[in-house]
Structure formats: C-alpha cells, structure tokens
C-alpha cells in the first residue's frame, strides 16, 4: 500500500526584529476590504472557513469581517478540536512568534487540512520573518497559502516550492504580490506546473513478498514486488525517480494519539525521512485523518468481525464430567424412560 504524507511534526523557534513592513496605521479599512474580497473570491466553495484567532485581545478585524463577509466563518482557537474539516483557513496573529506557537497547536488537530487554501494575517511582520513563515509552512507541505501584513497597506506574499523543479522541498524566493487591493494576480493558482518531474522520491520498503521485495534477500527470481511495480508504472511516465530503502519491519503497526503524535514506521513520513511508505495496515480513523492511502490494485473485501475472548483450556476429565452432569436434557430423558416403563405409557 502506498502512502503519501500529509503532515509532519513541527518544532521551530521563531525570532522577531524591529523593522516592520508597511505603515502600522490605526485604521484597517483597506485590510478588512482586502480580506473580505479575498475570502469572497477564493473561499466560496466547500465548507465554511475556519477563523483561527491567535489574538484573543484584538477583535477589531473580526468585527469588520462579520459585518461584511459573505462566507460563513467558524471562530476557533488554535487548540480547539472540532469534528469537522475546513476547506479554508483565515489565521490572524500579532507576531510571527505567536503564529509559530499557535500553528504547532493546530497541527495536533485530526481535522487539520494542509491542502486547504490558507490566508495568514500577521499584524507585526518583519522583512526577514517572511522566510521564517514559509519555512514553517514548507515543512507541513502547505502550498496554497498567502501571507498578508496586518497594516492598512495589506501587502501580499506567497511562495511556490514546485517552481524550478523544487519538488515541494525547497523554494528560491518569497514572491511579493503587491498591495492587496491593487493586484490582479491569481492568489491561489495551480502551483504544480512542473509537478514532480525530475524529482526523486524516497521510498521506504519492507520485505513483504510478493507485494514488496528486498533484492538483497532474494537469490533468484524477481527483484521487484507488486507494489513497487505499481509505483514504477506511475513514476516512469512522469519522469520521476525513486530511491528505495529497506529498513523497517512491516509487522510493526503505527499508532497515532488523539494529539496526532505518531509512533511506528509511519513516523518516517512525519519526520521527513521518507516520501513514500509501502506496507499494510488497517485503515482506521486515526490513520485516515493523518495520511492519504493509495489502494485499488488489489481486491479488497469489506467485512464485520466480532472479536470474543478465547475460552480457557479444560482438562479431559472435566470434559467427561461436564457431559454427564445434571442438566435439563438428562432430566427429560429420564422422565421419558420412566413413562415408557408404565403399562399405559407412551409408545
């Protein structure tokens, strides 16, 4: 089974400087217009937008959005655990450091969706901190994102880790889109222009014939399992290379805690040590929320199993005793014999 990572753990310390981008004016009319128009244009499809407020003492922006926004906003804190997923996020923070700390809490939510469109508003944004923000987002594979400095200038910034064959692992520069109300650029374009062409996927494979085979453990015959061959059929037409490593036991299952902490082989994806994992595991809710599974090339049967406790071992003499111990069946049989002995008994 082929697995692609959707998110990884984040442990990053953020620092701040004192050179603010834009003019920090008291009024935020342009900023509110910018965010409202962006949400209206790019966040109208799918479910409601999650408004993640990392500034609990600053509700000026929230009041402005509620009075003008046309898309439902679900107000939540970074530590909230909601049973629904969101197709978009509006995240506000006073500083980059506050964003980094709050973002780590968001990653612990099972319903966190890194593929969603994300608009981040930083009230006090410094020039060099742009790289800090996008480095954090890159580790979480967050691609569809725009950062706004929270002043009345409302300057926009984004990045594309797939540009120039970056393979989703690095980016050359932060792209400045200019003032929000003056730009006519598509803020959320398809960034997979070159896709994964010329990229190398790091695949972690167990020895699990016939599905996955470690060539070093096979003397004769085929050197590639069915799952490896399936991946080859996908990658070769796209000119994608695959580097295999054989370093984990497929019988070790991965567990995921309610806070999205991962223990087991799939933690290699979590730590960024692998891009693809082969193996087999029960598709339970925690794994569904944390990873994307590619299936379909093998027959799959849906079934319901009732698991009961195994009975204890019984000695042979006790089995014989249980057969002849008093019971309703023996009593009924004795009554039958007694009635049969009577002269007018049943025949």
Q: Which long-range contacts (CB under 8 A, 24 or more apart) does 215-222 make?
A: 216/246
Residues 155 and 13 in one domain: yes
Q: What is the pLDDT of residues 93-142, one digit of tens each?
A: 999 999 999 999 998 888 888 888 999 999 888 888 999 999 999 998 89
pLDDT for position 298: 53
Q: Which domain holds residue 277?
A: 200-294
Q: Same structural domain for residues 168 and 55?
A: yes
Q: How would DSSP label each residue in 10-56?
A: --------S-BSS---S--HHHHHHHHHHHHHHS-SSSPEEEEES-T
Give the H/E segment covering residue 335.
helix 328-341
Residues of the chain with confidence (pLDDT) below 50:
1-26, 299
Domain final position from 146, 179, 212: 179
Domain identity same for 251 and 120: no
Q: What is the pLDDT of residue 146?
A: 96
Out of 294, 323, 342, a domain closes at: 294
Regarding whether 153 and 7 lie in a shared domain, the answer is yes
DSSP collapsed to 3 states, 59-128 = CHHHHHHHHHCCCCEEEECCCCCCCCCCCEEEEEEEEHHHHHHHHHHHCCCCCCCCCCEEEEEEEECECC
pLDDT of residue 236: 92
**Does 326 fall in a domain?**
no
Domain closes at, from 294, 314, 339: 294
- The 3-class SS string of 183-237 reads CCCCCCCCCCCCCCCCCEEEEECCCECCCECCHHHCCCCCCCCHHHHHHHHHHCC
6 vs 44, 140, 246, 272, 297, CA distance in Å? 24, 7, 22, 11, 22
Task: Report the pLDDT value the prediction gives residue 135, as an integer from 0 to 100.
Answer: 94
- For residue 159, is it within any domain? yes
Torsion of CA 140, 146, 151, 155, to 10 degrees: 130
Look at the chain and report how many structural domains it folds into. Answer: 2
Q: Spell out a b/e string for 79-89, using b for 16 or more CB atoms within 10 Å of the CB, else e.
A: eeeeeeebbbb
Residue 264 lies in a domain: yes
Q: pLDDT tens, 283-294?
A: 777 777 777 777
Same domain, 175 and 215: no
Rounded distance, CA 254 to CA 284, Å?
A: 11
């Amino acid at each position: 089974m082929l697995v692609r990572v959707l998110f990884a753990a984040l442990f990053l310390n953020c620092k701040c400087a004192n050179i603010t981008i834009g003019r920090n004016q008291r009024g935020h009319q342009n900023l509110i217009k910018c965010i409202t128009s962006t949400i209206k244009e790019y966040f109208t499809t799918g479910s409601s937008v999650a408004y993640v407020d990392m500034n609990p003492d600053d509700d000026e922006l929230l009041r402005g959005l509620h009075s003008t926004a046309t898309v439902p906003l679900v107000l939540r804190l970074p530590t909230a655990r909601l049973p629904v997923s969101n197709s978009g996020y509006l995240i506000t923070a006073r500083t980059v450091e506050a964003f980094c700390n709050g973002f780590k809490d968001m990653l612990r939510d099972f319903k966190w969706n890194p593929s969603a469109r994300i608009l981040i508003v930083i009230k006090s944004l410094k020039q060099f901190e742009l790289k800090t923000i996008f480095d954090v987002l890159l580790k979480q594979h967050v691609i569809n994102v725009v950062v706004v400095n929270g002043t009345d200038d409302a300057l926009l910034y984004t990045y594309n880790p797939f540009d120039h064959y970056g393979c989703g692992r690095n980016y050359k520069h932060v792209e400045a889109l200019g003032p929000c109300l003056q730009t006519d650029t598509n803020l959320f374009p398809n960034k997979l222009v070159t896709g994964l062409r010329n990229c190398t996927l790091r695949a972690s494979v167990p020895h699990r014939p016939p599905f996955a085979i470690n060539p070093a453990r096979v003397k004769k015959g085929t050197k590639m399992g069915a799952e490896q061959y399936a991946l080859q059929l996908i990658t070769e037409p796209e000119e994608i290379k695959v580097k295999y490593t054989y370093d984990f036991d497929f019988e070790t299952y991965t567990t995921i805690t309610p806070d999205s902490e991962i223990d087991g082989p799939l933690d290699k994806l979590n730590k960024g040590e692998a891009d693809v994992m082969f193996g087999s595991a029960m598709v339970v809710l925690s794994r569904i929320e944390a990873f994307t599974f590619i299936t379909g090339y093998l027959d799959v049967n849906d079934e319901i199993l009732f698991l009961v406790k195994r009975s204890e071992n019984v000695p042979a003499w006790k089995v014989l005793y249980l057969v002849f111990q008093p019971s309703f069946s023996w009593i009924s049989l004795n009554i039958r014999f007694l009635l049969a002995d009577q002269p007018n008994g049943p025949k």
